[in-house]
Amino acid sequence: MTVLSAPAEFTIERKHAYKRSTPARWVVSHAVRYWPIIAMMTIGAVGNAWLAALVPIFVGQAFDSILAVPPLLEKLLPLALYIGGTQVIRGVLQLGRNFGAELIAQKVERDIRDELYISLLGKSMTFHNLQSVGDTMARATNDVREVNFMFSPGVNLVVGSLVFIVMPIAYAPRYHPALLVTPVLYTVAYFIALYFYLKALEPVTNEVRDSFGQLNSRLAEALDGVEIVKGAAQEQAEVVRFGGNARRFRDAFVRQGDLEAQFLPMLLLGIALATGLFHALALFNQGLLKTGDVVAYFSLLLMLGFPTFASTFAYSQISLGLAGARRILELINNETDLDQNAAGHSGRMRGEVEFRRVGFAYPEGDEVLSDISFKVAPGQTVAIVGQTGAGKTSLVKLINRTYDVTGGQLLVDGVDARDWNLASLRQQISIIEQDIFLFSRSIAENIAFGKQDATREEIEAAAKAAQAHDFIMEFEKGYDTVIGERGVTLSGGQRQRLALARAFLTAPNILVLDDSTSAIDSATEDRIQRAIAAAARGRTTFIITHRLSQIRWADLILVMRKGRLVASGSHDELMQTSEAYSRIFRE
């Protein structure tokens, strides 16, 4: 077993390691695992081309038999049987080639999706905050599919067609050594033209894939923010923006079509066929070839048509596949500073938290937090207050290493947070944010998300503690009710109560409530406050809130201003000593 080597928040043991230096090497490292299928595909391609080349030879012999004096008609039946028999076998081999190509394409697509999904789960929140969801979805779906098409029909046609090029060269000398000139010159010219074609095609296919990613990204943003678009009556403006991205994608695709239309080997094929026929007829006039030889040789030259015509499509598909692989590999190779630290500390958490001159800044951004120092004893309740943009949410997200400190030290139970086993650290810390995310699953599954093996009794007990049981039972299917994506079928208060139930069920040692009761009506607030107070008993709790009712009973209040801790203490103390704190309540 091997473990994914790139630093990640989440890793999983894998049986195979893949080479990620270049897109081509990465795709090949996926494919070589299935070498028996590759062997089957190659044998099928060689056998198919070889048996296809026998048909012109048999047809040439049939011509000579008919034109003989007297005609040797008795040879025609065996030749017909030979042709029929070889083509039946050829059909089987061609089936093996096509089946092998499709099989390896599907297997590689599956493995790449698996690798990419695991990689995306392992990325830090810094990565996900900067990476467009729409572009990520384009890479995870359409680009991965392009890698599939790269093998079938792409590689399938290329392998099959390259063997077809060899056959005229292999069989021409049986009629006359001079007949090698045309297929050899064509082959040399073909590969030279192909080199320049692929060189010109690469940036165009890259642009096709990149423009599709941008198109998808803009579409995802518009759909995700459709309420804002409609509320501001900006439908027409969004249509214009989408149209611009669609035109860019269309123009890139048209440029690809222009290159394919200018494919030089098409012209070279016509020249080769004309030259080869003229050469064979000249040798015939000299008595060096028979009629059947001319027919057989020209038919062999016609085999060059398959690689020529297939190349216009097959190599474009391979180029698109490599462009897609490049975009996928960019995501996978994008490393995160956070790692799983599987060998780190993983003991039972008491809940002591200490910030020692902690600083934090986003990559290539301004400092968000600066010189933060305080200590919280196990079981204490801490209220964090401050104006919007003061850094409150960023501060609490350092505790479970959603983000990592960029300066100073953060200790949990006296152990540097970076020295904890990441899974153990996060399993014992629960954060409930104002913007609640719920999955498009049943209510019971959403509550039990952090504890997949929870019983129905445990789920209902957590829901009752969060004052969610009553409204859940109003649904026809109760806890089995499937809610819409992101919980859009529920009110804000209902979503937050389900999030509280999810937290209560996991029984974390550190509980973080990021303005999590902002959407709860006053009639429910008292019950929620009692539930939170009960949940906070015996565990360290951080509450980000502006509600005085929640702040008053906190053991410690932290006042944040512009990324700095400007005051700390109890409510009564701060009202007397902190102008920043008292101003919050006056405003």
pLDDT digits (tens, 9 = 90+) for 394-419: 898 899 888 888 889 999 999 998 88
- Structure-token match 């090949």, residue found: 28
Mean pLDDT of 286-292: 89
Which of 132-136, 286-290, 400-404 has the weakest average pLDDT? 132-136
Percent of the chain with pLDDT over 70: 89
| Cβ neighbour number for residue 353 with a 10 Å cutoff | 25
- In whole angstroms, what is the distance from residue 448 CA to residue 439 CA? 11
Q: What is the pLDDT of residue 523?
A: 62
| Nearest of 88, 269, 276 to residue 181 by alpha carbon | 276
Name the range with the highest mean pLDDT among 78-87, 237-246, 459-468: 78-87
- In whole angstroms, what is the distance from residue 237 CA to residue 243 CA? 10
Which of 100-104, 159-163, 258-262 has the weakest average pLDDT? 258-262
pLDDT bucket at 99, cuts 50 / 70 / 90: very high
pLDDT bucket at 354, cuts 50 / 70 / 90: very high
390: its two tokens: 């003061």
pLDDT bucket at 50, cuts 50 / 70 / 90: very high
pLDDT bucket at 432, cuts 50 / 70 / 90: confident
What are φ and ψ of residue 477, in 5° steps?
-100, 10
272: its two tokens: 């080769």
- In whole angstroms, what is the distance from residue 414 CA to residue 350 CA? 10
pLDDT digits (tens, 9 = 90+) for 497-515: 888 888 888 878 888 888 7
215 residue type, one letter: L
Q: What is the pLDDT of residue 315?
A: 85
219: its two tokens: 């579409």
| Cβ neighbour number for residue 233 with a 10 Å cutoff | 8
- In whole angstroms, what is the distance from residue 272 CA to residue 297 CA? 12
Could you give the domains of the chain? Answer: 2-333 (1.20.1560.10), 353-586 (3.40.50.300)
- In whole angstroms, what is the distance from residue 379 CA to residue 352 CA? 8
- Is the model's pLDDT at 535 over the cut of 70? no
pLDDT bucket at 23, cuts 50 / 70 / 90: confident
- Is the model's pLDDT at 218 over the cut of 60? yes
Give 205 or 7, the one with higher predicted confidence: 205
- In whole angstroms, what is the distance from residue 493 CA to residue 153 CA? 53
pLDDT digits (tens, 9 = 90+) for 235-280: 787 788 888 888 888 888 888 888 878 778 888 889 999 999 999 9
Coil vs helix vs strand at 436: coil
- Is the model's pLDDT at 11 over the cut of 90? no
What are φ and ψ of residue 46, in 5° steps?
-65, -45
Name the range with the highest mean pLDDT among 166-175, 197-206, 383-392, 465-474: 166-175
**Contact in structure between 543 and 515 (CB atoms under 8 Å):** no
- Structure-token match 């490049």, residue found: 326
**Contact in structure between 563 and 530 (CB atoms under 8 Å):** no
- 299, 301, 304, 305: CA torsion to nearest 10: -50
Q: What is the pLDDT of residue 2?
A: 40
pLDDT bucket at 297, cuts 50 / 70 / 90: very high
**Contact in structure between 131 and 328 (CB atoms under 8 Å):** no
Q: What is the pLDDT of residue 7?
A: 47
pLDDT bucket at 1, cuts 50 / 70 / 90: very low
**Contact in structure between 479 and 442 (CB atoms under 8 Å):** yes
pLDDT bucket at 476, cuts 50 / 70 / 90: confident
Q: Provide the pairing of β-strand 415-416 with 564-569.
A: unpaired
493: its two tokens: 């208060």
Contacts for 134 with CB less than 8 Å, ≥ 6 apart: 213, 216, 217, 218, 219, 220, 221
Mean pLDDT of 485-496: 72
Q: What is the pLDDT of residue 576?
A: 82
| Cβ neighbour number for residue 289 with a 10 Å cutoff | 22
Element (H, E) at 88: helix 76-122
Q: Provide the pairing of β-strand 353-361 with 429-432.
A: unpaired
Mean pLDDT of 216-222: 76
**What is the C-alpha radius of gyration for the chain, rounded to an integer number of angstroms?**
35
- Is the model's pLDDT at 437 over the cut of 80? no
- Is the model's pLDDT at 104 over the cut of 90? yes
- Is the model's pLDDT at 285 over the cut of 80? yes
Q: What is the pLDDT of residue 425?
A: 87
pLDDT bucket at 102, cuts 50 / 70 / 90: very high
pLDDT digits (tens, 9 = 90+) for 545-573: 777 767 877 889 898 888 899 888 888 88
Mean pLDDT for all residues in the chain? 83
| Nearest of 422, 408, 343 to residue 8 by alpha carbon | 422
Q: What is the pLDDT of residue 343?
A: 79
| Cβ neighbour number for residue 129 with a 10 Å cutoff | 10
Instruction: Give the torsion sign (CA, 7, 13, 19, 23).
Output: negative
How much of the chain is helix, strand and coil, in % rounded to 5?
A: 65, 10, 25
Contacts for 150 with CB less than 8 Å, ≥ 6 apart: 27, 105, 317, 318, 320, 321, 322, 324, 325
Give 422 or 19, the one with higher predicted confidence: 422
pLDDT bucket at 538, cuts 50 / 70 / 90: confident
| Cβ neighbour number for residue 102 with a 10 Å cutoff | 17
- In whole angstroms, what is the distance from residue 166 CA to residue 45 CA? 12
- In whole angstroms, what is the distance from residue 302 CA to residue 297 CA? 9
The distance from CA 396 to its chain's CA centroid, rounded to whole angstroms, is 29
**Contact in structure between 395 and 560 (CB atoms under 8 Å):** yes
